[in-house]
Structure 1
Amino acid sequence: MFKVGDRLPSATLMEYSEVEGNGCSIGPNPVDVEKAAAGKTIALFALPGAFTPTCSAKHVPGYVEHYEALRAAGVDEIWCVSVNDTYVMGAWAREQKTGTKVRMLGDGSAAFTQATGLTLDLASRGMGLRSNRYSMLVKDGTVASLNIEGPGKFEVSDAATLLAQAKG
């Protein structure tokens, strides 16, 4: 199981971009986790699925809302990771109006999620293997804080909790 002090796993996530810029072409673009996190402070949160009720109503909007405060607390980027394909994450980003505030990163094959050990088996609900709901503050690729939710909970992985940790 992933813990504070661990390095982010060597994995590639996928990001959908609708406009060219910053070296990204239109469409799916690979994001090498190790390279993308190097030298940065990342507010990373993961959730069971795009377009799901709690994720859409609370989790993503909280990070969009707290974007400026997180940046002021030293966070360089905010990442949302979900076991969904990049096209679903792109559509969800449009629906959630994340813009350039939150990088919506698809972990379509769950390689990143499995490497962290923070998996959630939702096969009985027709969703297969997913990510547990959690947040972490990552500094230069190393986990500085980790907030893992209990089953069905949304109490510690919210943006306000991670903001308090970033300020600490």
Structure 2
Amino acid sequence: MTIKVGDQLPDARLAEYIDVASEGCSVGPNKVMVADATKGKKIAIFAVPGAFTPTCSEQHAPGYIQAADQFKAKGVDEIWCISVNDPFVMGAWARDQKADGKVRFIADGSGLFTKALGLEFDLTKGGLGVRSQRYSMLVDNGVVKALNVEDSGHLESSTAEKLLAQI
């Protein structure tokens, strides 16, 4: 079953690599419990098939990073980038994208959250394993308010501009 507008996000344990320790967050991978992290917040989420891949690195992630202030101006508390990668890779990619303070790069290492959403994409035949489909969503207090799943290999419906227009 694929998640749809009006559904509650499934709870899952994700991970985020933290470069600088702060209260409650040590350096290194820190758990992100979806239910706790979305409670009382409006969050723009976009997912990519893989960190450091061409479309994801050159268009998808930069679009959200550049639009971070516009999302905040529309009442969005946080922007998350989710990928079926480990938190070390996601942390390195966030540094490469200069996303600090703008977009949280969060790892779904085993793809369990992605599978619970029904948005997995099996690239095993190509040697890439199970990945996430490319999508964007607006979540308010854990409930999906907008959802845009790409139905092609391109970046069209899940851009920052498209999601901004839906807020």
Q: Same fold (TM over 0.5)?
A: yes
Q: Which residue of 2 aligns with 1:74?
A: 75
Which one-letter code corresponds to 2:28 in the other structure?
G
C-alpha separation between the residues in 1 aligned to 2:5 and 2:22? 34
1:99 positional shift = 0.6
1:151 positional shift = 2.9
1:2 positional shift = 0.9
Residue 92 in structure 1 maps to residue 97 in structure 2: no
The aligned runs of 1:2-13 (5 Å cut-off) are: 2-13=3-14
Residue 47 in structure 1 maps to residue 52 in structure 2: no
Q: What is the number of equivalent residue pairs in this alignment?
A: 166
The aligned runs of 1:8-27 (5 Å cut-off) are: 8-27=9-28
1:123 positional shift = 1.2
Q: Secondary structure at the match of 2:166?
A: helix
1:23 positional shift = 1.9
Q: Secondary structure at the match of 2:11?
A: coil
1:82 positional shift = 0.2
Which runs of no fewer than 5 residues in structure 2 stay unpaired? none
Q: Secondary structure at the match of 1:25?
A: coil
Q: Secondary structure at the match of 1:16?
A: strand
C-alpha separation between the residues in 1 aligned to 2:152 and 2:83? 16
1:107 positional shift = 0.3
1:124 positional shift = 2.1
User: Could you report, residue by residue, the CA deviation over 1:47-104 in whole angstroms, capped at 9, with x for unpaired residues?
Assistant: 1000001000000000000000000011000000000000000000010110111010
Question: Which stretch shifts more, 28-37 or 145-154?
Answer: 145-154
1:137 positional shift = 0.3
Which runs of no fewer than 5 residues in structure 1 stay unpaired? none
1:22 positional shift = 4.4
Residue 125 in structure 1 maps to residue 121 in structure 2: no
C-alpha separation between the residues in 1 aligned to 2:119 and 2:56? 17
Runs ≥4 residues deviating over 3 A: none
TM normalised by structure 2 equals 0.98
